[in-house]
Amino acid sequence: MVIYACYGNITAVRGWSLDCDSEIMPPDMSECLTIIYAWAIGAKSFEFPEHVGLPLGGEDGPTFLMIEMHYDNPAFSPDFHDNSGLRIYYTPTLREYSADIWMVGQNVDLMHLIPPNESAFKTYGFCFGECTKAGMDEDVYVFAAMLHGHLAARQINLQQYRGDELIDELKDDNYDFNLQETRILATENTFKPGDSYVVTCTYNTVGRDEVTRGGDGTVQEMCLVFVYYYPKKTKIDYCTSTPSLASYWEFFNIPYVEGIEDYSVYTYSHVVNSDPETLRIGLQNVTDRAKRYNYCFGSTDLNLNEDHFELNFPEWFDPEKTMVAPDVCSVDDDDDNDPIGRGNTLMAGCYGVITTIALCLLFV
């Protein structure tokens, strides 16, 4: 379940509910681009720290929310009924800082490819310093994060680089799709303009006979981290990357053909029809060496960093470098009643209550 903030007078869509990818979505829904909260299976409620809150209403906050529900119903059974939703608790007492959220990691698209029958295949999603330099004017402070992959994910690691120096790390070496949680960091981390994030995901596809691709479906994959920070003063909402098509063409010897309607589909078809050894070696080369498309998006600017859209695989990144001992589990055993982390109410506001909620559905 993903909650998007909507701005402006768009109450005409009150109560609208349909497929989120539908071409008949009301045009006003295009104003709902900013993620303010994400919930996934296994999570409990989330409570913001006492000095931080999400603005609701007022001059700086949204006046409308859109809820995107992800359903897993592969058999299209008609007799399932759902009453999921979000209960928001707000305070009339203004918090000291307004929070915001970034989505960082591997862009969710067709070219996030993982070979079959691999026990520990890694992919890397970059939030490049070129993006954070373009979208930030001052330091921010990271206080929580949610690591997110799907059924094949076994480990997820978020690393922060300043130049070529690894300065911070958050990892889960025992990732469980059925036990996801937004976690308050023990110590808030300073993130400066020009710093980079790397999200490393390790997948187990043993028993799968076909390539696993990126996508919204449960049997497809993601490699993302939702990063909570304050103050809310950056232009960035999404900071992700994906291997360039030209790199796939190079490593798989795919010929360039003029006039192809969709080069992603063209490239994907060539890759997945490779023989097993070519597929394994080629995807390993893409992971370890491919240039990346740099997706640096904000809610008001389509691409904050279009002058640096295709970037080389970063020389400063060392996949073997770590700050945390191997096989660290993020489970907190101090509280038997809340073994994952903190929070039993969602206190997500400073200024006032949301006026109304729209719902769209995403079937996977």
- Summarize pLDDT for 264-312 with one digit per residue, the tens: 999 999 999 999 999 999 999 999 999 999 999 886 656 777 777 899 9
- Between CA 126 and CA 280 the distance in angstroms is 22
Q: In the chain, which residues have pLDDT < 50?
A: 327-357, 361, 363-364
**CA atoms within 13 Å, Cβ hemisphere of 203:** 33
CB atoms within 10 A of CB 9: 10
- At residue 364, the pLDDT reads 45
CB 279 within 8 A of CB 121: no
Structure token pair of residue 10: 């768009």
- At residue 5, the pLDDT reads 85
- Between CA 197 and CA 191 the distance in angstroms is 10
User: Of 247, 239, 244, 184, whose CA–CA distance to 45 is shortest?
Assistant: 184
Structure token pair of residue 166: 């690894």
- At residue 326, the pLDDT reads 57
Helix boundaries (H) for the chain: 129-135, 245-252, 263-272, 276-289
Sheet of strand 165-172: strand arrangement: 121-127, 196-203, 153-162, 165-172
